[in-house]
Amino acid sequence: MTADREDARLIVSRHAAKLFLERGVAGTSGDDIAEAAGLSKRTVWRYFRSKEACVEPLFSASSLRFASVLREWPLQTSIEAYLHEAIRPLDQTPQEIADDVLAVRLVALLPAEPALRTAWLMSCHVGEEQLIDVVAQRSRRLPTDFDVRLCAAAVMAALRVVDEDVSTAAITESRKFELPDIIDQMAKAIRTASTLPICDPVGP
C-alpha cells in the first residue's frame, strides 16, 4: 500500500473516530464518514470493508509507533530502563498526540460499542507482527520459530490489556496517570507475558 493511500486512510480514520465518539457507531453512516472526510462514499468503501473498519488506521498508528520504539531496543538494556529512556512525549508531533488521544477515547468506548472491537483487535495483530522481529533478535531465534511467535502474541495481548485498562480508567473514571507509572505498567506487562528471556540484557 502506498504512503499516499495510507495517509488518506488515516485522515478518514480520524473523521470516523470523531463521529463515532459524537454519535455512536449506530448513529454514524458511511455517508456521514465520507462527507466529513470530503470524499465520495465509493472511495471510502474502496479504502475500508465496513464503517467500523474505518478506525483501524488510527488504532494501528499507535501500535506501529510503539513497535518502532521496541525495534530500537538495545540488546544490552533491560525493558524497564529502555522504555523509561525511549518514551518521551516531546518526540511526538502534535498530530500524533491528537491521534493517541482519539485512540484512547475509542478504546474506552469499546464496552459500549463492541462493533469497534474487531478494528481494535486487527490493529493489535499489526503490532504483534512487528514484535516478532524484536523477539527473534533478543532471543537469537528465527522469526518463524513457534516460540518466537508465541512470545510476540503474549506480549501484544498483555499490552492490549494495559491499553484497555488505562484508557477506561482515564476516560470513564477520570483517573490521572503520570507517564512513568504507565511506562512501569507496560514494562511489567511485557516482562510478565514474555515466554522467552527477552526482557533483560542480552550478551553480544
Q: Return the pLDDT at 33.
A: 95
Task: Give the pLDDT mean for 29-52.
Answer: 92
Distance CA 152, CA 104 (A): 22
Distance CA 12, CA 17 (A): 9
Task: Give the pLDDT mean for 167-181.
Answer: 92
Domain ranges of the chain: 3-53, 56-193
What nine digits make up the cell of 70?
521496541
pLDDT digits 0-9 by tens, 53-80 = 999 999 999 888 899 999 999 999 999 9
Name the CATH architecture for the domain at 3-53. Answer: Orthogonal Bundle (1.10)
10 phi, psi to nearest 5 deg: -70, -35
**pTM across the whole model:** 0.90
Domain 56-193 has CATH 2.60.40.420: no
